[in-house]
DNA sequence: ACAATCACG
DNA sequence: ACGTACGTGATTGTA
């Protein structure tokens, strides 16, 4: 086996720790080693008869290939190797004639499949390793040891319990049947021992299947006790005379030699002389033609397609790179000097939490030349750090705080908040790969760095799961040794640097570069500011509400139980449906995928027939408010700031809107009385401070008016008329002062329906009128404002032609599925055309232009306000954005200044054909704003 | 992990 | 015959 100096973390070494990416595995990589025979027997027995078109048995080939494809697709191993037993005796047979004596010949139906499996592995580029005189397990042991030394994660794909002796910090067994890993904690749960006790344990217990004799009368339970008492096998045998139970004690003495020999049989040899060509073990060396040929021969159709899909995908490339862990202040100072003359600085922080306000710095990664990156650890579980966080930050401060040195990275909003919390400003943010990716394709589900590297660089990055694990055993970044983090962390600075030119080219190509550099990138700092500020929450107020809502809930639940005749879980739609529709015999109004629906609209309809549904609505309302807000919010208050610091996400909503999470502050209740009570718990900073809420009036309708260029609508907005009343008056053909509240309500519904592309059916339902009436209403609207329909047709035509729609600022969203234009019928005979009936993509297209443009406008406003607050040195803080509303915290003496500033910036943000009106409200909390 | 429900604009 | 208003996020129950 190749030996080399492994990149360990030796505190005494004087040279900087170099990690050069080569073909060999590095910390963060995962190596899968398949015990081929173990797997082959499993699938051979699990899958019944199965033959190829020629009539040859292929069940094991099929099952094995299926497992390998599953491994590659689901687990994306960085390295994958298959170990085989070789025919002929092994050193174990020399030790013990009886070794595996009972194990019969391999079934003939299986023997013929082994070469086929090897051919298939060859075609999909999985190296096959076998060594005469050794078993596959020994090869697993050898590779496991090598991985362990390299601090590389190794998963042994086997059903053989012997391999449990190989478990370490980096090595685990992988059960492909259950898709579960088996490590030291699972071992302890099963046998109650540590991995280093496995060999002795099995030597005592023996193994019938492998014909390992062991010691009679010693089973797993006694073996565990003995090992716990005495430590190891030798100690157990030495104390055999003292063991409780005469027969047991006697057996231990009598069969001591058997036990010792068993130990030699069980112990795996981790020094098998084999050479691994790691490059060949990286999945990706597919021979597509050969795969097709073999799958054809064996009659694998669906599986063959899966295998071919892998072959067609380009193999991930391992980028040439040289990463260094910085271990001295002298080296850091040298690097800082280099950075000062760099064009760009790529920055990434490693921390203890995904929440930037809670996160503590673990390390910083930096890169300014593609392929070179540096990781500066400032915290390590091994206590061997030579660097102090304060000193590192002080050293980096001049470069971080220099706005002239352009910074780039992945999700820099996060890093900026982390660094600001640690006392350093990250200035000069000029590119963010996550934001760029979002602008290029707002419909993508994620924009994380791993996906970007795969998409643009065809590079498979180190997955964070490989370092910190996942699920309940997930570790924190500061619990992982520096030597294991280094490569992962450095990569996170290097990859953005490599991605930037490619992303920038595409932005230019799609005319998105200005939107990127002038709006979205500068907005990062404004959003970081919002998140850093947070909003104050009145916890005692929420606690009082919790008690109040709790009492209401209890009362309602008792009434519901009374009405239903028995207790049940009201929160379970299934149980509720049982009560409503089976027990009470109420009619099913609509169905969900899984059964009758019990949502609020259904319950409202049922309310006229039975008192229960109304109670359910009321109970649900309180339960929702209590569970989602009243009880949840206090737990999210930051202990030091006493405020809630939500996250404002820039790359989630496909339309260009922001979204908010952890907690979502964009859906705090307002529509009901109980909801407004929750709003009142969001307060200004305290005495002498007020909240100022500024919202755009009817922004989406104004955007629609702008795009439609409709004279009447634009003029109505210019004159400050009530748009719903105006539409009501015109559609109904009555004077403005004759509009009834009923008419206004209808017009309002139409106005909003238009924005969403609503059909007569939908409008009819929301207004409780007939479909015909609704259709008449909509037709009247389009006839009165022809520009609106014209705008919709134009939008659809553009989208059909381009495959995307654009907002005012050129933001794009790809939408497929716009139908060809309907042929205009002969106008002479056309009296009243049916209103536009849009399908989902068409509705989405129209809505995206409007919603997205509104999002553009408020983002521009946020940016302008953010800048002015800074320039004018005001103490006022921007706290929230709720799509058409901004909320500020403001010292009372600044209130008038702020009011003017906010209205000016919000209304002047763009020249539209309509004015942008802004309503201002202020108060001590979010509910009493007037 | 997914479905149902409901909070907001 | 079927579905029917866009965009989000959190909670709860269920498989």
Q: Report the pLDDT averaged over residues A568-584.
A: 84
Q: Indicate if the pLDDT at residue A8 is higher than 50.
A: no
The count of residues in chain A is: 930
Measured distance CA(A406)–CA(A290) in Å, rounded: 50
Measured distance CA(A322)–CA(A320) in Å, rounded: 7
Burial class (CB in 10 A: 0-12, 13-18, 19+), A585: exposed
> What's the confidence (pLDDT) of residue A907?
95
Measured distance CA(A775)–CA(A763) in Å, rounded: 8
Q: Is the CB of A250 under 7 A from strand B?
A: no
A617 close to A607: Cβ distance less than 8 angstroms:
yes
Q: Is the CB of A614 under 7 A from strand B?
A: no
> What's the confidence (pLDDT) of residue A438?
95
Q: Is the CB of A759 under 7 A from strand C?
A: yes
The maximal CA–CA distance of chain A, rounded, in angstroms, is 112
| Selected residue with higher pLDDT from A492 and A563 | A492
Where does A320-441 have alpha helices with state H? 329-340, 389-400, 412-421, 433-440
DSSP codes of every residue in A675-736? HHHHHTTEE-SSTTEEEEEEEETTHHHHHHHHHHT-HHHHHHHHTT--HHHHHHHHHHT--G
Nucleotide nearest to A848 (CA to C1'): C6
> What's the confidence (pLDDT) of residue A706?
95
Nucleotide nearest to A758 (CA to C1'): C5
Q: Which residue is nearest to nucleotide B8 (CA to C1')?
A: A667
A788 close to A812: Cβ distance less than 8 angstroms:
no
Q: CA(A855)–C1'(C13) in Å?
A: 35
Contacts of residue A277, defined as CB under 8 A and 6 or more positions apart, other chains included, come to A23, A127
Q: Is the CB of A675 under 7 A from strand B?
A: yes
Measured distance CA(A83)–CA(A683) in Å, rounded: 65
Domain boundaries, given as residue ranges, for chain A: 30-193+270-281, 322-534, 536-644, 700-820+832-839
* Residues 623-652 of chain A sitting with CB below 7 angstroms of strand C: 623, 627-628, 632, 649, 652
Number of other CB atoms surrounding residue A820 within 10 Å: 7
Distances (CA, A) of A814 to A50, A371, A441, A653, A802: 46, 33, 7, 13, 9
Q: Report the pLDDT averaged over residues A15-32.
A: 71
Q: At A830, is the pLDDT very low, low, confident or very high (cuts 50, 70, 90)?
A: low
Residue whose C-alpha is closest to residue A31's, from A126, A121, A131, A164: A126
Q: CA(A176)–C1'(B3) in Å?
A: 28
Out of A20-24, A410-414, A593-597, which region has the weakest mean confidence (pLDDT)?
Answer: A20-24
Residue-wise burial string across A369-400, b where 16 or more C-beta atoms lie within 10 A, e elsewhere = ebebbbbbbbbbeeeebebebeebbebbeebb
DSSP codes of every residue in A99-118? TTTT--PPPHHHHTHHHHHH
> What's the confidence (pLDDT) of residue A18?
56
Q: What angle do CA A803, A805, A809 make, to 5 degrees?
A: 140
> What's the confidence (pLDDT) of residue A890?
95
Domain covering A536-644, topology: Taq DNA Polymerase; Chain T, domain 4 (1.20.1060)
| Selected residue with higher pLDDT from A517 and A186 | A517
Q: Which residue is nearest to nucleotide B6 (CA to C1')?
A: A624
Distances (CA, A) of A17 to A337, A482, A797: 20, 11, 59
> What's the confidence (pLDDT) of residue A458?
82
Measured distance CA(A647)–CA(A660) in Å, rounded: 6
Strand C: which nucleotides have any atom within 7 A of a protein Cβ?
3-15
Q: CA(A909)–C1'(C8) in Å?
A: 25
Strand A406-409 versus strand A344-351 pairing type = parallel
Q: Is the CB of A573 under 7 A from strand B?
A: yes
> What's the confidence (pLDDT) of residue A742?
87
Q: Is the CB of A625 under 7 A from strand B?
A: yes
> What's the confidence (pLDDT) of residue A465?
62
> What's the confidence (pLDDT) of residue A202?
86
CATH code linked to domain A30-193+270-281: 3.40.50.1010
Q: Is the CB of A473 under 7 A from strand C?
A: no
Q: Which residue is nearest to nucleotide B5 (CA to C1')?
A: A599
Q: Indicate if the pLDDT at residue A468 is higher than 70.
A: no
> What's the confidence (pLDDT) of residue A321?
83
> What's the confidence (pLDDT) of residue A828?
56
Q: Which residue is nearest to nucleotide C15 (CA to C1')?
A: A594
Contacts of residue A531, defined as CB under 8 A and 6 or more positions apart, other chains included, come to A356, A357, A413, A417, A645, A646, A647, A648
Q: CA(A20)–C1'(B3) in Å?
A: 47
Q: CA(A853)–C1'(B4) in Å?
A: 32
Q: CA(A770)–C1'(C5) in Å?
A: 17
Which percentage of chain A shows pLDDT scores above 90? 45
Q: Report the pLDDT averaged over residues A205-217.
A: 76
> What's the confidence (pLDDT) of residue A718?
94
**A690 CB-side CA count, 13 A:** 17
Phi first, then psi: what are they for A460, rounded to 5°? -90, 115
Q: CA(A564)–C1'(B8) in Å?
A: 32
* Highest mean pLDDT: which range of A204-213, A431-440, A538-547, A620-629: A431-440
* Residues 665-704 of chain A sitting with CB below 7 angstroms of strand C: 666-667
Q: Which residue is nearest to nucleotide C8 (CA to C1')?
A: A659
A424 close to A400: Cβ distance less than 8 angstroms:
yes
Residue whose C-alpha is closest to residue A653's, from A455, A848, A513, A906: A848
Strand partners of residue A153: A30
Say how far residue A175 (Cα) sits from the centre of its chain.
Answer: 25
Out of A348-357, A411-420, A818-827, A909-918, which region has the weakest mean confidence (pLDDT)?
Answer: A818-827
Q: Is the CB of A666 under 7 A from strand B?
A: yes
CATH code linked to domain A322-534: 3.30.420.10
A165 close to A195: Cβ distance less than 8 angstroms:
yes
Q: Which helix (H) or strand (E) holds A922?
A: strand A918-923
Q: At A45, is the pLDDT very low, low, confident or very high (cuts 50, 70, 90)?
A: confident
> What's the confidence (pLDDT) of residue A100?
65
Q: Which residue is nearest to nucleotide B7 (CA to C1')?
A: A667
Q: Is the CB of A572 under 7 A from strand C?
A: yes
* Highest mean pLDDT: which range of A48-57, A172-181, A712-721: A712-721
Q: Is the CB of A617 under 7 A from strand B?
A: yes
Q: CA(A574)–C1'(C12) in Å?
A: 12
Q: Which residue is nearest to nucleotide C10 (CA to C1')?
A: A628
Where does A878-928 have alpha helices with state H? 895-907
Q: Indicate if the pLDDT at residue A546 is higher than 60.
A: yes
Q: Which helix (H) or strand (E) holds A314?
A: none
Q: From the CA atom positions of chain A, what is the Rg in Å?
A: 34
Q: Indicate if the pLDDT at residue A161 is higher than 60.
A: yes
Nucleotide nearest to A847 (CA to C1'): C6
3-state secondary structure of A851: helix
> What's the confidence (pLDDT) of residue A325?
92
Q: Answer left, alpha or beta for residue A577, where phi above 0 means left and psi between -120 and 50 means alpha.
A: alpha
Q: Which helix (H) or strand (E) holds A17?
A: strand A17-20
Out of A165-169, A534-538, A610-614, which region has the weakest mean confidence (pLDDT)?
Answer: A610-614
Q: Report the pLDDT averaged over residues A754-761.
A: 86
DSSP structure class, residue A182? E
Q: Indicate if the pLDDT at residue A555 is higher than 80.
A: yes
Distances (CA, A) of A476 to A348, A393, A464, A481: 17, 21, 11, 11
**Same topology between domain A30-193+270-281 and domain A700-820+832-839:** no
Measured distance CA(A477)–CA(A801) in Å, rounded: 48
Measured distance CA(A807)–CA(A809) in Å, rounded: 5
> What's the confidence (pLDDT) of residue A15?
44
Q: What is the pLDDT of residues A105-123, one digit of tens each?
A: 788 888 889 999 999 999 9
Cis peptide bond prior to A485, omega within 30° of 0: no
Q: Is the CB of A159 under 7 A from strand C?
A: no
* Highest mean pLDDT: which range of A68-77, A515-524, A624-633: A515-524
Measured distance CA(A152)–CA(A27) in Å, rounded: 5
For chain A, the straight-line distance linking the first and the last C-alpha, in angstroms and rounded, comes to 77
A173 close to A167: Cβ distance less than 8 angstroms:
yes
Q: Is the CB of A762 under 7 A from strand C?
A: yes
Number of other CB atoms surrounding residue A624 within 10 Å: 15
Measured distance CA(A511)–CA(A515) in Å, rounded: 8
Strand B: which nucleotides have any atom within 7 A of a protein Cβ?
3-9
Range A700-820+832-839 has CATH code 3.40.50.300: no
Contacts of residue A409, defined as CB under 8 A and 6 or more positions apart, other chains included, come to A346, A347, A348, A415, A431, A432, A433, A493, A496
Q: What does the mean pLDDT of chain A come to?
A: 87
A28 close to A466: Cβ distance less than 8 angstroms:
yes
Q: Is the CB of A724 under 7 A from strand B?
A: no
* Highest mean pLDDT: which range of A275-289, A684-698, A758-772, A813-827: A684-698
Q: Indicate if the pLDDT at residue A652 is higher than 80.
A: yes
Q: What is the pLDDT of residues A427-454, one digit of tens each?
A: 999 999 999 999 999 988 889 998 899 8
Q: Report the pLDDT averaged over residues A324-351.
A: 95
Q: Report the pLDDT averaged over residues A254-266.
A: 83
Q: Indicate if the pLDDT at residue A823 is higher than 60.
A: yes
Q: Is the CB of A837 under 7 A from strand B?
A: no
Q: Is the CB of A472 under 7 A from strand B?
A: no
> What's the confidence (pLDDT) of residue A569?
85
> What's the confidence (pLDDT) of residue A880?
95
């Amino acid at each position: 086996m190749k030996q080399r100096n492994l990149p360990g973390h030796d505190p005494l070494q004087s040279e900087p720790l170099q990690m050069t990416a080569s073909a060999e595995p590095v910390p963060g990589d995962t190596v899968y080693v398949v015990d081929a025979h173990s797997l082959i027997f499993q699938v051979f027995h699990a899958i019944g008869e199965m033959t190829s078109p020629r009539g040859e048995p292929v069940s094991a080939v099929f099952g094995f290939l299926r497992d390998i494809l599953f491994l590659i697709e689901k687990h994306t191993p960085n390295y994958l190797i298959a170990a085989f037993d070789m025919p002929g005796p092994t050193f174990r047979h020399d030790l013990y004639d009886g070794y595996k004596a009972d194990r019969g010949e391999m079934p003939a139906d299986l023997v013929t499949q082994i070469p086929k499996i090897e051919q298939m592995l060859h075609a999909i580029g999985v190296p096959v390793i076998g060594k005469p005189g050794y078993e596959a397990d020994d090869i697993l042991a050898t590779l496991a040891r090598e991985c362990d030394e390299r601090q590389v994660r190794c998963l042994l794909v086997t059903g053989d319990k012997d391999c449990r002796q190989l478990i370490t910090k980096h090595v685990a067994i992988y059960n492909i049947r259950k898709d579960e890993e088996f490590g030291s904690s699972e071992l302890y749960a099963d046998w109650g021992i540590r991995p280093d006790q496995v060999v002795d344990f099995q030597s005592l217990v023996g193994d019938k299947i492998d014909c390992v004799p062991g010691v009679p009368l010693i089973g797993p339970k006694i073996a565990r006790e003995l090992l716990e008492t005495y430590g190891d096998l030798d100690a157990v045998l030495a104390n055999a005379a003292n063991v409780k139970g005469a027969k047991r004690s006697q057996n231990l003495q009598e069969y001591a030699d058997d036990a010792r020999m068993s130990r030699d049989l069980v112990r795996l040899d981790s020094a098998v002389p084999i050479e691994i060509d790691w490059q060949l073990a990286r999945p990706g060396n597919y021979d597509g033609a050969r795969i097709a040929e073999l799958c054809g021969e064996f009659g694998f159709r669906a599986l063959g397609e899966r295998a071919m899909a892998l072959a067609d995908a380009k193999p991930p490339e391992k980028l040439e790179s040289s990463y260094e862990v910085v271990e001295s202040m002298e080296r850091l100072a040298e690097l800082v000097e280099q950075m000062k003359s760099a064009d760009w600085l790529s920055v990434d922080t490693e921390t203890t939490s995904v929440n930037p306000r809670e996160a503590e710095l673990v390390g910083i990664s930096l890169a300014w030349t593609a392929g070179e990156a540096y990781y500066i650890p400032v915290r390590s579980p091994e206590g061997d750090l030579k660097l102090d966080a304060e000193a590192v930050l002080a050293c980096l401060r001049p470069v971080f705080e220099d706005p002239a040195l352009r910074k780039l990275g992945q999700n820099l909003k996060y890093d900026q908040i982390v660094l600001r919390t640690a006392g350093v400003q990250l200035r000069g943010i000029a590119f963010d790969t996550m934001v760029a990716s979002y602008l290029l394709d707002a419909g993508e589900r994620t924009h994380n760095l791993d996906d970007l590297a795969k998409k643009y660089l065809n590079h498979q990055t180190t997955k964070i799961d490989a370092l910190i694990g996942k699920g309940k055993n997930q570790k924190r970044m500061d619990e992982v040794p520096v030597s294991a983090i280094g490569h992962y962390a450095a990569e996170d600075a290097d990859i953005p640097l490599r991605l930037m030119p490619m992303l920038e080219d595409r932005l230019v190509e799609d005319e998105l570069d200005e939107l990127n550099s002038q709006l979205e990138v500068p907005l990062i700092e404004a959003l970081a500011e919002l998140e850093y500020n947070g909003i104050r929450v009145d916890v005692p107020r929420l606690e009082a509400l919790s008690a109040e809502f709790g009492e209401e809930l209890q009362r309602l639940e008792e009434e519901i139980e009374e009405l239903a005749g028995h207790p049940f879980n009201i929160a379970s739609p299934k149980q509720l449906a049982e009560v409503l529709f089976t027990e009470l015999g109420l009619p099913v109004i609509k169905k969900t995928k899984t059964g009758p629906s019990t949502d609020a609209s259904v319950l409202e309809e049922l309310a006229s027939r039975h008192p229960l549904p109304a109670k359910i609505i009321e109970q649900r309302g309180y339960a929702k408010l209590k569970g989602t807000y009243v009880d949840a919010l206090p737990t999210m208050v930051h202990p030091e700031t006493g405020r809630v610091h939500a996250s404002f996400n820039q790359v989630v909503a496909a339309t260009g809107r922001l979204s908010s999470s952890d907690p979502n502050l964009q859906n705090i209740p307002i529509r009901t009385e109980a909801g407004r009570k929750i709003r009142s718990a969001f307060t200004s900073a305290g005495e002498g401070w007020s909240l100022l809420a500024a919202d755009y009036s009817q922004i989406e309708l104004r955007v629609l008016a702008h795009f439609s260029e409709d004279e009447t609508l634009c003029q109505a907005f210019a004159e400050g008329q009530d748009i719903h009343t105006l539409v009501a008056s015109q559609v109904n053909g009555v004077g403005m002062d004759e509009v009834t509240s009923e008419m206004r309500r209808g017009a309002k519904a139409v106005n909003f329906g238009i924005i969403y592309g609503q059909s007569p059916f939908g409008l009819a339902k929301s207004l409780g009128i007939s479909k015909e009436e609704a259709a008449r209403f909509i037709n009247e609207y389009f006839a009165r404002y022809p520009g609106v329909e014209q705008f919709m047709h134009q939008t659809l035509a553009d989208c059909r032609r381009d495959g995307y729609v654009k907002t005012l600022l050129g933001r794009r969203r790809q939408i497929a599925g716009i139908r060809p234009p309907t042929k205009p019928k002969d106008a002479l005979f056309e009296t009243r055309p049916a209103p536009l009936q849009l399908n989902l993509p068409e509705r989405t297209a129209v809505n995206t232009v409007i919603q997205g443009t509104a999002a553009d406008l408020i983002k521009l406003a946020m940016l302008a306000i953010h800048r002015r607050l800074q320039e004018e040195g005001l103490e006022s803080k921007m706290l929230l954005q709720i799509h058409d509303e901004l909320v500020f915290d403001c010292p009372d003496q600044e209130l008038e200044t702020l009011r003017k500033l906010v209205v000016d910036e919000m209304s002047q943000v763009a020249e539209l054909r309509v004015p942008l009106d802004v309503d201002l409200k202020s108060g001590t909390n979010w509910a009493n704003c007037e």
